[in-house]
């Protein structure tokens, strides 16, 4: 997978895309699959209202998905 300038594309890269109407979209590349440069991947757009958590309160999605019970992973706040 490569960008318009030939640079290798990787999921998680911060990207800029000019749409066909000329609008600039800035965000993070995700769900892109190697071997396809056309209509491949999605852009997660940042906004001023994005959550800003303490990372000590956050889990990687794979760890969350592997967890058996939600209460064991995220103890209820008291």
Encode pLDDT of 4-32 as tens digits: 888 889 999 999 998 889 888 999 999 99
Confidence of residue 40 (pLDDT cuts 50, 70, 90): confident
The pLDDT value given to residue 27: 92
* Cα dist from 11 to 8, 24, 32, 43, 73, whole Å: 10, 19, 6, 10, 26
Checking if the pLDDT of 71 tops 70, the result is no
pTM strictly above 0.75: no
Tell me how far apart the alpha carbons of residues 31 and 69 are, in angstroms, rounded to a whole number.
Answer: 27
Output the pLDDT for position 74: 58
Radius of gyration of the chain (CA): 17
């Amino acid at each position: 997978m490569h960008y318009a300038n030939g640079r290798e594309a990787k999921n998680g890269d911060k990207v800029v895309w000019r749409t066909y109407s000329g609008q600039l979209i800035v965000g993070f590349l995700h769900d892109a699959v190697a071997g396809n440069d056309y209509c491949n991947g999605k852009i997660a757009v940042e906004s001023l209202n994005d959550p800003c958590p303490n990372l000590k309160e956050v889990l990687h999605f794979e760890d969350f998905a592997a967890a058996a019970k939600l209460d064991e992973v995220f103890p209820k706040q008291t």
